[in-house]
Chain A
Amino acid sequence: MAALLAAGDVLADKTISAFVRRTVARAFAVVVTLFARFVTAVRGTWVGNEPSRKRRIYFANHTSHGDFILIWIVLPPRLRRKTRPVAASDYWLKSKLRSFIGRDVFHAVLIDRNKETRTEDPIALMQDAVDRGASLILFPEGRRNDTDAPLLPLKAGIYNLAVSRPHIELVPVWIENLNRVMPRGEFIPVPLMCTVTFGPTMQVAEGEAVDAFIARARDALLALKPARNGSAAS
């Protein structure tokens, strides 16, 4: 662990050549990917949709820090490179190692969730990334869901982004089981099978109000949640 942190310090040093940084980041991505596959055997399924090179906004339920990694893994490798997760800078800039993982390994678009102190508008940052040709992975719940409810209320940011960039397709994504792999506050993952389900593309309709769209997005997400019986409680 100490070695990792030290490595993080070295890599965060701006004087290290960009080439070394990029190489280490690539290697790191491979290791993270292999580890995630080992633990979750994750499989992606596309329901009424296909992988596409078009710019897209994948919006998903959020239960774990590993969520975007799973989505990233199940995307075809060609699409991976131009797909950037949108993540909270208050988490990902906390240490040099995290910042290396967030920025260099996964090219995250880092946004500040704190309205009082932030200097840059999150929507503007996302618009900028999209305008440069990236697809985004977005978690519209705004924070990790560790309640028993399947989904927290969605924030309006995704609506504002979609309205300002109307040609971009929105793809609902449901991540199943990752919250059981690594519940909040635990640090050793339990290997369990995870699935990532991509649903049909959607867009904001002409003149659609924010509440109506958010309700539709929520339904689109919940529709992808696998039904499974066998719960002892039911």
Chain B
Amino acid sequence: MNIHPDLLNLLMGIGAILVVASIAGYVLQQRFSPDGSNSAIENLNERIRAWWVMAVLLAIAFIGGRAGVILLFGFCSFAALREFLTLTNARRADHWSLVAAFFVVLPYQYYLVWVNWYGMYSIFVPVYVFLLLPIVSAMRGETEDYLVRIAEVQWALMICIFCASFVPALLNLDIPGFEGRNVLLIAFLIVVVQLSDVLQYVWGKLIGKRKIAPRLSPSKTVEGFVGGVLSATLIGACLWWMTPFTFPQAGLLAFIIAILGFFGGLVMSAIKRDRGVKDWGHVIAGHGGFIDRLDSVVFSAPIFFHLVRYFWSVDLPA
């Protein structure tokens, strides 16, 4: 096991930020909420604690290398799919499609990523599963809401399995001069997306006035969006040293990631509003469910993957 010095620097940097955040949270709690009565501060501290857990899990996965990352995101896919399908109209007639989704499609997609069969993992869910799974549901003969049911299941699979699996798929890219450091591409993606989320929240709290999508997500503001995306872009550019990109390239990619992450959050909010729930789940204290934390990563991962593959990777077929 060898940890690249860039990865070590990044992990220590994240650790330092979390230490500062924990101290700030503690001071705020002592001053404004000693009896736990200020719900905003309690929620902030819950979130910081959950961030610690997430950072430690990611660090372990990164140090564990390929197997660690694939296992971690495979589990995230599982948890996300469990949350997503809970809110769908799937019924008894879909039982076998759902069993197949969890116990065949999910492991096979991550297996394909593991063996680096690009030609298959990039079409398995959108082509094969798309065509085969509705057959399984149709065989039971239940036609009520049929199109709604199969469309929901396919959407769940695309978001929770297919798109999420492009995070570990970043390990498969063959970039000259960047060998053995691909895990830093994942770190770059996740750091930019999550900081963009946090910074949008912070900018929104500080100077947010105009709501950007009041019906979808009442807490998001124009000021938060602009401030968050721009500062995440700047931070992304400043992380160029750990990527195969130059400073402006890293900034541009960070900008694209942040924008996609933002709109990914909006899309997933629209689904929550439609289903009348506030959060996707209850597993992560202060954050809600796995999808609440993953939505922006899931939307940016495949496009980030393809952009890097197209412009930087050498494994394109001749």
Hey, which bits of chain A sit against chain B, CB under 8 A? 41, 43, 177, 180, 183, 186, 188, 190-193, 195, 227-233
Hey, which bits of chain B sit against chain A, CB under 8 A? 78-79, 81-83, 85-87, 89-92, 95, 98-99, 102-103, 144-145, 148-149, 274-277, 281-283, 289
A and B contact pairs by CB, cutoff 8 A, 11 listed: A41-B82, A180-B91, A183-B92, A188-B103, A191-B85, A193-B82, A193-B86, A193-B282, A195-B282, A229-B275, A232-B149
Chain B residues lying within 8 Å of A195, measured Cβ to Cβ, are: 282
Question: Contact partner of A232 among B78, B81, B92, B148, CB < 8 A?
Answer: B148
Chain A residues lying within 8 Å of B90, measured Cβ to Cβ, are: 180
Contact between chains at A233 and B144 (CB < 8 Å): yes
CB distance from A93 to the nearest CB of B (A): 29
Contacts A43-B282, A191-B82 given: A232-B276 contact, CB under 8 Å?
Answer: no
Contact between chains at A190 and B144 (CB < 8 Å): no
Instruction: Name the residue in B81, B82, B281, B289 with the highest tally of chain A Cβ atoms < 10 Å from its Cβ.
Output: B82
Chain A residues lying within 8 Å of B98, measured Cβ to Cβ, are: 190
Contact between chains at B277 and A232 (CB < 8 Å): no
Contact between chains at A41 and B92 (CB < 8 Å): no
Contact between chains at A193 and B144 (CB < 8 Å): no
Contact between chains at A227 and B276 (CB < 8 Å): yes
Contact between chains at B79 and A41 (CB < 8 Å): yes
- Cα–Cα distance between A183 and B148 once the two chains are bound (Å): 20
- Cα–Cα distance between A190 and B86 once the two chains are bound (Å): 10
Contact between chains at A229 and B103 (CB < 8 Å): no
Which residue of A is nearest B145, CB measured? Answer: A232
Chain A residues lying within 8 Å of B79, measured Cβ to Cβ, are: 41
Contact between chains at A192 and B276 (CB < 8 Å): no
CB distance from A68 to the nearest CB of B (A): 21
Question: Contact partner of B102 among A190, A230, A232, CB < 8 A?
Answer: A190
Question: Contact partner of B95 among A177, A183, A228, CB < 8 A?
Answer: A183
Question: Contact partner of A192 among B86, B277, B283, CB < 8 A?
Answer: B86
Contact between chains at A190 and B85 (CB < 8 Å): yes
Contact between chains at B281 and A191 (CB < 8 Å): no
CB distance from A198 to the nearest CB of B (A): 15
- Cα–Cα distance between A229 and B89 once the two chains are bound (Å): 11
Chain A residues lying within 8 Å of B83, measured Cβ to Cβ, are: 193
Contacts A180-B90, A232-B89, A233-B144 given: A192-B275 contact, CB under 8 Å?
Answer: no
Contact between chains at B275 and A228 (CB < 8 Å): yes
CB distance from A132 to the nearest CB of B (A): 35
Chain A residues lying within 8 Å of B281, measured Cβ to Cβ, are: 41, 193
Chain B residues lying within 8 Å of A233, measured Cβ to Cβ, are: 89, 144-145
Contact between chains at B276 and A228 (CB < 8 Å): yes
9 closest cross-chain pairs (CB), A and B: A230-B275, A229-B276, A190-B98, A232-B145, A193-B86, A232-B148, A191-B82, A183-B92, A192-B86
Chain A residues lying within 8 Å of B103, measured Cβ to Cβ, are: 188
Chain B residues lying within 8 Å of A232, measured Cβ to Cβ, are: 89, 145, 148-149
- Cα–Cα distance between A231 and B275 once the two chains are bound (Å): 8
Which residue of B is nearest A233, CB measured? Answer: B145
Chain A residues lying within 8 Å of B89, measured Cβ to Cβ, are: 230-233
Chain B residues lying within 8 Å of A192, measured Cβ to Cβ, are: 82, 85-86
CB distance from A147 to the nearest CB of B (A): 12
CB distance from B192 to the nearest CB of A (A): 29
Contacts A190-B85, A193-B83 given: A230-B99 contact, CB under 8 Å?
Answer: no
Question: Contact partner of A191 among B78, B87, B276, CB < 8 A?
Answer: B78
- Cα–Cα distance between A195 and B83 once the two chains are bound (Å): 12
CB distance from A27 to the nearest CB of B (A): 24
Question: Contact partner of B274 among A43, A183, A188, A230, CB < 8 A?
Answer: A230
Contact between chains at A230 and B87 (CB < 8 Å): yes
Chain B residues lying within 8 Å of A190, measured Cβ to Cβ, are: 85, 95, 98-99, 102
- Cα–Cα distance between A183 and B275 once the two chains are bound (Å): 22
- Cα–Cα distance between A43 and B289 once the two chains are bound (Å): 12
Contacts A188-B99, A190-B99 given: A228-B82 contact, CB under 8 Å?
Answer: no
Which residue of B is nearest A194, CB measured? Answer: B86
